[in-house]
Each structure stands twice: as C-alpha cells, then as structure tokens.
A and B are shown apart, each in its own frame.
Chain A
Amino acid sequence: MQTNFTLEQLADPHVAESEKILRRCVHCGFCTATCPTYVTLGNELDSPRGRIYLIKDMLENGRPADEEVVTHIDRCLSCLACVTTCPSGVDYMHLVDHARIHIEKTYRRPLMDRLIRGLLAAVLPYPARFRAAVVFAKLGRPFVPILKRVPALKPLGAMLDLAPASIARPSDAATPGTRAPQAERRGRVAILSGCAQPVLDPGINEATLRLLSRLGIEVVVPEGEGCCGALVHHMGREEPALDFARRNVDVWIREIDNGGLDAIIITASGCGTTIKDYGHMLRLDPAYAEKAAKVSALAKDITEYLSVLDLPKLEPKRLNVAYHSACSMQHGQKITLAPKNLLKVAGFTVRDPAEGHLCCGSAGTYNILQPEISGQLKARKVRNIEATKPDVIATGNIGCITQIATGTAIPILHTVELLDWAYGGPQPQKLSAR
C-alpha cells in the first residue's frame, strides 16, 4: 500500500525497514480472520490490519506513541498467526517489534504498568531471582482475589495465579558442562537452559539430555548463557534485549570455536523464535551481525533436530495425544509437522484440536499483562483441546504448558518428554501421578 515517509525519516534504518514492510501490505484483511484478539474482541483496531494501520499512521507522522495506539499494540500477542496467513508476505513481526521499541522510547506508561513491567523484566529472565519470586508468590496467593478486583493490580493477581504451587526439585540439567553421549557419538550440540523454564519445569531439559545422550549426541550446557532476551524484547526494551542476545552469541560462538556445534538446541519455541531472529536483531551491529547470523542459522528446535536423526518406528501405544502447536512453533518458526510426526513414529495417536492456529493466551508475559483476553483465549483453547478427548496434551513451549495447565486437569507435557519416555526414558511424573 501507499506510504508517506520523507527521505529524512527513511534515513532511520528502523523506519526504512518498516516502510518496506508496509509497502507489501495490500490491506486485504485476511489476517483479521486468524488473529486471536480480533476473533475475541471483534474490533479491527485489535487486529493485525488495524495495528499495521495504527503503526503506519504513527510512524508516518513521526508522532510519539499515545494511549490509544499503545492499548491496541499491547493487546497484540505477537503470536504471528497473521504472518502465516498473510498472502503478501508482510513481515508483521518486525513491524510490531519496531512499534514496541518506538512505544518504549516515546511513551510514558502509567505508574502501576511501569512497575509491573519493570518487575517482570528484572525477575523473569534471571533463574535465581525467578526462583525466589516463586517462593514469594506462594505467600502472596491468598491475596489474589483482592488484587483481581483492582484494575491496575490485575496483572499481579494473574502473576500469582500462574506461579507453580510447588517449587520444582533441584536439577542439574542447567549445570554447565559437557555431557558425553551414552551411544556412539553422532554429533555435538549446545542446549539452551533458558531462564524461566528450569525453574518451572526442569524435567523438559532433563528429558532432552537423556534422549540425546541415548541417541549418541554430545550435549554441552555452556557456561555463561542466559535468557534469550525474548521477554524484554517483546516489551520493546531494545537495548536489554540486544545485550541478552550478544551475551548468548558470545557464549555459543565460543563453543563453535572450541569443538564445533551441529546445532543449538532450544526446547522452548518462544526462545527459538527469538534466537533465530538474532541475525536480524543484531544486523546493524557490525561487531555482531555476522556472528549472530551464524548462531541463528544453527538454532534448532529440539523436534526439528530430532527429525533429522531418523528415530525408529515404535509399536502403537494406546495413548491419545492432543498436540498443541505453540504460536512461536507454528507461526514463528513454521515448524508444523515435525513434532507430530515424531510423536506418531514413537507410537502415539496424535489429535489435532480445532482452531489450532489460535494462541492459548500465554504469549510470554501476556497472560500477566492482559489477563482478561488471555483468560478467554485459554478457555477457548482448553475447550478445543478437551473436545479431542486426549489422555495427554503435548506442546513445545513452557509458556503454553504453564498457561494450559491452569485450565485443564489433563496432563500437559513437552513433546520431548513423551519422546524420551517412548525411547527408553522414565515415564514422565505427570503421567505416573495419574
């Protein structure tokens, strides 16, 4: 579509990029149909096309962000269903990233909002702080009903709701070091431990380590890696996000230089989407552009990597698995068939819930910052999943696991936990507890 930017505006590489993205949009409106917030709220302002238009108007006029624009951009889950749908190839992800950075730079949020966002940014990406917060959350839980009644405090209530009731047992899955494979060595990979996942569910990476080890893959947990940066990136906090990215790039480049890596394995698709975007995020940083691109090229979701290892076909089991594809998996990384095929080969019966393209409402910190919309999406997702009458739900993202688990009694596991079990690992605790 037509754009109106001055040459001066276009000198800013962010604006220049956004202009290119906007030019591709033909305003056909297809994206509205698969957008979870449009489907829920029925207002074009809460749809990709509406947001694209709001962003266009804001950027063209060189305006600081205002309350209205912020409201509608904040409601975006960044699920990227629109990117999958868009026939024109509009790169909505980088457009909304730019808009969020612009908001963060030009808009002063209300006090409570600032505090909560600051709290999330200061705690979530750091496992030790997050672990402490979870302990603290237990104490705060009795206050949830009160918090939920005060609009500005609703996010706090949501946060406490989501915190796990018990603290995960300590695990050494995140301890730095190299794990030699149990079988003949076929490859060497690094694994991302991440920030929130080891606190919420260390079993995922434990299962990954066991499975890879049995398959002859040497796995290194590199010293010094940390949060991928997605959490702050989605809040528009560009510099902290880039710092996280640079730190991880350094760590992985070090591993590539010492011993080489076939892949960087990620077991949370939310992180995977961001790490695969490092090359883009750091494209303007001459010191990092090349290294970041290299890292992005090596980043692989665990199911993506397992797919090339040719796992043997197993006898069918009598277990119905509803596969929930995380948005970051299906829309962010376009990985749609690999996890389901792996499960099928491993003998599970895989069921596809209706409206699989719709987000569960987790979306990073979205379930904390937008609890109402998130709750509606969760209910819808759970309804669709339960309609397939599954014994277990499988997915590839810790955010979805946490979110969906609070809405259903059906156990929800990471795909890799089921695969580890099928290929000789222990039965996942969530299943044995039944």
Chain B
Amino acid sequence: MSEAIEFLPPRPAVLSRRTAIIADLTDLLPAECVIHEARELVPFETDAFISYRRLPLAVVLPKTTAQVAAVMKYCHRYGVPVVPRGAGTSLSGGAIPQEDAIVLGLSKMSRILEVDYANRTATVQAGVTNLNISEAVGVDGFFYAPDPSSQLACTIGGNIGMNSGGAHCLKYGVTTNNLLGVKMVLVDGTVVDLGGKHLDSAGYDLLGLVCGSEGQLGIVTEATVRLIAKPEGARPVLFGFETSEEAGACVTDIIGSGVIPVAIEFMDKPAIEICEAFAHAGYPLDVGALLIVEVEGSEAEMEATLASVVEIARRHGVKTVRESQSAAEAALIWKGRKSAFGATGRIADYICMDGTVPLGKLSYVLKKTSEITDSFGLRVANVFHAGDGNMHPLILFNANDPEDAAKAEAAGNEILKLCVDAGGCLTGEHGVGIEKRDLMRHQYSDADLAQQMAVRSAFDEGWILNPSKVFPLDGRPAA
C-alpha cells in the first residue's frame, strides 16, 4: 500500500466514541443496514483506486432518503466524518474511507422510481447503475447518454459525484449536461430538491455546483435525468494507424473539419492487445494505434459522416479501416473498449490517469507520456476519449513491489502535470479524489482554491463530508 498521500488524522473524539456511535446507528437503521464487525469492514477499505486503503469506523447502507437524513443529522451533531459510496468504482479514490468515518453506501437504494417519456425524464434512486437506466428505457427507444466505461456497475449517485463522462459525451455532454434534478440530504439532515423535470434553476445553479462535488456538499439520494431518443442507427468503425502520432493528428483534423462523430476513442498497441485478449472484438493487432470512431443517425447520415472521416483518415495514412457489420459486432467493439482498464489486470497492476488536454496537444502529450514512463522504466498503455482530449494513460506496475508502485505514482504525477502545462487539466471525468488532491496547486492558485473551499464550507462548515479528498490538506479554512 502506498503512503505518499496523507489522510486527515482521525478525530480522537470520534474514535473514542466508536461503540456509542455504532449503537446509535443501529438504533437509527435496520440491523441489516449497519456493518461494524471488523472483518466485514475490510471490503469497504478501498474502491477501484486500490493503492490506498483505510478501514472505516462503520458502514451504513440506508434504504430511504429519510434514513440517510437521520444518519446525516446524527453525524453532523457529533462531528462524525461521512464518506459516501456508490458502487465503489472510483479510480481516484473518491470512496476510500478514513478511520473515523462512516461509509454511507447507497447500494440498497437501487430502484428506478419513474420513467416519464412525455417529459423525457427518468427519476431514479442514487444507487441505480448507469446502465440500468438505459436498459430500462431502451425497449422504448430511449437512452441515458453519459456512458462511463464502468457504466455496468457505477451508480448514478457516483456519476453525479464525479460528473462522469464517457465515450459518447463528445456529442451528448457529461453528467452535468444530462442532469435535471436531485434530491439531496444536506450535511445537517435537511432534505432539499434541486431542479426537477423542468430546466435550469430559479436561483443559483446549485445543481451544477453539486454535480462533480465528490460527495462534499451533500448526499444525493435521487436524481432526475434527461432521456434521449435513440438514434436510428449507430456504427463504430475501426481505423488502424502505424503510429500514435498519426492517429492523434487524425483526431485533431476530424474535429477541426466540423464533422463531429458521436465518439472518437483511441488505443495504442499495448491497449489494443489487452482489450482484444478479453473481448475478441476483432481489433487489428498489426497496427500501432487504433481509433474507434462512431457515427450515428440515419443510414444516409452515417454514410456521409463516415465518408468525410475516412477521407481525413486516408490523409493521415490510415492502414486499416473496418466498419462493424452487425449490432453484435458493434457491441463487441464497445465491450472491448469499455473493459480496457479491467482487462489490463490480466497482465499487470495499473493506475489510470485522467488528464485532459487541448486537442492540438494530443500527439505531443502522447509522446511526452511515453518519455516519462520510459524514464521511470515503466510500461504504459493508452486508451482514451480522443475526441475531447481526455487521456487515460494506464501506467503498468507490480503492486507487490513497493519500489515499482512508488515509481508508478511518481510517473503519474509527472504526466498529470504535463497535461496541465499543456493547457489542460488534472482530471476530465474520474475526479480529484485522494489521488490528485496534492496536485491541485499545480492547476489552481491559492486564491482559486480558497474560493472553492469557501463555497464548499457554505454547504459543510465542519468539513465532515468526504473530508480527506479534493483539496490539499494545508491551507484549508479553519473549522
């Protein structure tokens, strides 16, 4: 386990009341909703950012908004930190607890409450998975657009916490652009509704502020999201290139041409091999880089868009062009792409970066990224959303070798700084979490951060919500 990033020291006043707190929580919630046996807490010590682990004080899995409110009211009263958790798929450690914290899991709140086609909305509990929504409305010709690669498992609550994106947000936007309203429990247990089936806010855009706030402003228990009519057809096409640079330049030109596909995904050679081994999607193995370009719409539209894209790709020396021939094949192509991170586990441990860079800098940043990992003697696989410059270098290492793990972390930090220096940002869709917290000063000035923290304090003066995350530990407002 890595130790480079510190957590807040546990609050002694909380630790010393552990037994009483557990007894009180057991009074507030049904027995099956409170977990406190030491052994049962272990599986909650981390999320998908497994380099860091901390045992929580207890885990609660409420079933209703009222129960969430009761827990928050209690924790607020006694200053007990609360770490919200959806499916625990965070790649930045957003759901990693701390010794004095209650993990508040939304996994028992997983019902779709209402689907309203007349208004094109779905209202769901926070623990519903992203894919569940699209599956529930798919038969009627609708879908929910943001599609993070973990959409099979990740919850809508977690998506809101991290303002998740996905492959198709090039056209449809990220979570914040598809979220119409939330029911949220404030730190003191007050329940508020922000937004609804209507658009925009009557006052400040608190909904926009909550989206991407990493569980620091309140606990979202329900969400109303925008549904979109499914396009008539969608077709992913594979473009194989000799080099990553060619592929990167091609992406920049596609966007620059004014033709905007629904998705442009990039994979370099190591990533292609990893994904093909799992999904058998028919990715070409004799190329140095691969683009998955998806077009959608009517047959006429897909053909027209595709023709322009193919022409641009040819100018960049594309080696292989392969259109998917069936829905099953298209599904496999996406399955391979979306399983990329997990599939990497077949060959090595990894940490996944999430910096975003301006499109014009793609090739440059790709090249620099391999220089950085080379200099650390590490391997890297790149698989990412190229259309919006959201890079995901996967740094491969051996987690059982502490030295290797430390090198991977250091290389990751270098890469993220590179992204910021190139005019981009630390994280495009995974969130700051614990992972990128101490790099925040590289992107923001002290005043910028102080302003964000002040606004955060407006929601949670005592900083009990997910307190070790997002903001560097030094320079925080005095409690």
Contacts and interface: CB of A to CB of B under 8 A. Distances in A.
Chain B binds chain A:
yes
Contacts of A43: 32, 35, 61, 107-108
A44 B44 contact: yes
Contacts of B44: 44
Nearest to B106: A42
B341 A3 contact: no
A24 B153 contact: no
Interface string B52-86: 00000000010000000000000000000000000
18 contacts: A1-B349, A2-B349, A23-B399, A24-B346, A26-B48, A26-B345, A27-B50, A28-B48, A29-B153, A30-B342, A43-B108, A44-B88, A54-B39, A54-B40, A87-B278, A87-B343, A88-B344, A88-B346
A86 B342 contact: yes
Given A57-B39, A87-B342, 13 more contacts: A1-B50, A25-B345, A26-B341, A28-B341, A29-B154, A34-B152, A42-B107, A43-B107, A43-B108, A44-B43, A45-B40, A50-B43, A86-B342
A31 B129 CA distance: 13
Contact of B344 (A26, A39, A45, A50): A26
B399 A1 contact: yes
Interface string A369-405: 0000000000000000000000000000000000000
Contacts of B395: none
B346 A29 contact: no
A164 B108 CA distance: 36
Given A28-B341, A44-B43, A87-B345, A3 B400 contact: yes
A32 interface: yes
A68 B40 contact: yes
B153 A33 contact: yes
Contacts of B37: 68
Interface in A214-258: none
A28 B150 contact: yes
A57 B400 contact: no
A85 B108 contact: no
Q: What 3 A-B pairs have minimum CB-CB distances, sorted nearest first?
A: A88-B345, A87-B342, A87-B339
Contacts of A66: 39
B383 to A, nearest CB: 12
B454 interface: no
Interface of B: 1, 32, 35, 37, 39-40, 42-44, 46-48, 50, 61, 87-89, 105, 107-110, 127, 129, 131, 150, 152-154, 278, 339-346, 349-350, 399-400, 405
Given A26-B344, A26-B345, A88-B345, A33 B47 contact: no
Interface string A1-28: 1110000000000000000000111111
Given A1-B349, A43-B107, A32 B153 contact: yes
Given A26-B48, A29-B89, A29-B150, A45 B43 contact: yes
B342 A44 contact: no
Given A68-B40, A86-B342, A45 B35 contact: yes
Contacts, number: 118
B39 A69 contact: yes
Name the prevailing secondary structure of the B interface residues.
loop
* Most chain B Cβ neighbours within 10 Å, of A3, A29, A43, A53: A29
B341 A57 contact: no
A142 interface: no
A33 B152 contact: yes
Contact of B43 (A23, A41, A54): A54
Nearest to B88: A29
B105 to A, nearest CB: 7
A222 B65 CA distance: 61
B40 A42 contact: no
A88 B346 CA distance: 5
Contacts of B350: 26
A88 B400 contact: no
Contacts of B342: 26, 28, 30, 86-88
Contacts of B50: 1-2, 26-27
A30 B108 contact: no
A89 B399 contact: no
Contacts of B349: 1-2, 26
Range, interface on chain A: 35 or more
Contact of A30 (B40, B110, B153): B153
A23 B39 contact: no
Contacts of A90: 345
Contacts of B278: 87, 89
A49 interface: yes
Contacts of A2: 1, 50, 349, 399-400, 405
Contacts of A69: 39
Given A42-B127, A43-B107, A30 B150 contact: yes
Contacts of B39: 54, 57-58, 66, 68-69
A58 B40 CA distance: 11
A33 B131 contact: yes
Contacts of B109: 42
Contacts of A53: 42-43
A72 B399 CA distance: 27
B345 A42 contact: no
Contacts of B88: 29, 32, 44, 49
B87 A88 contact: no
Nearest to B341: A28
A29 B345 contact: no
B108 A33 contact: no
Nearest to A3: B400
B272 to A, nearest CB: 15
Contacts of A58: 39
Contact of B108 (A42, A49, A88): A42
Contacts of A49: 43, 88
A59 to B, nearest CB: 12
B107 A44 contact: yes
Contacts of A44: 43-44, 88, 105, 107
A1 B152 CA distance: 21
A72 B346 CA distance: 26
* Most chain A Cβ neighbours within 10 Å, of B35, B46, B88: B88
A200 B129 CA distance: 39
B153 to A, nearest CB: 4
Nearest to A51: B43
Contacts of A1: 50, 349, 399
Contacts of B107: 38, 42-44
* Most chain A Cβ neighbours within 10 Å, of B32, B105, B153, B339: B153
B341 A85 contact: no
A53 B46 CA distance: 10
Contacts of B127: 42
A66 B152 CA distance: 32
A27 B47 contact: yes
Nearest to A90: B345
A21 to B, nearest CB: 11
A85 B152 contact: yes
Nearest to A26: B345
B202 to A, nearest CB: 34
A30 B48 CA distance: 10
Contacts of A89: 278, 343, 345-346
Contacts of A38: 107
A23 B50 CA distance: 12
* Most chain B Cβ neighbours within 10 Å, of A3, A26, A53: A26
B110 A42 contact: yes
A69 B129 CA distance: 26
Nearest to B277: A89
Nearest to B350: A26
Interface in A65-113: 66, 68-69, 72, 85-90
Contacts of A86: 342
Contacts of B61: 42-43
Contacts of B131: 33
A43 B350 CA distance: 26
A180 B105 CA distance: 62
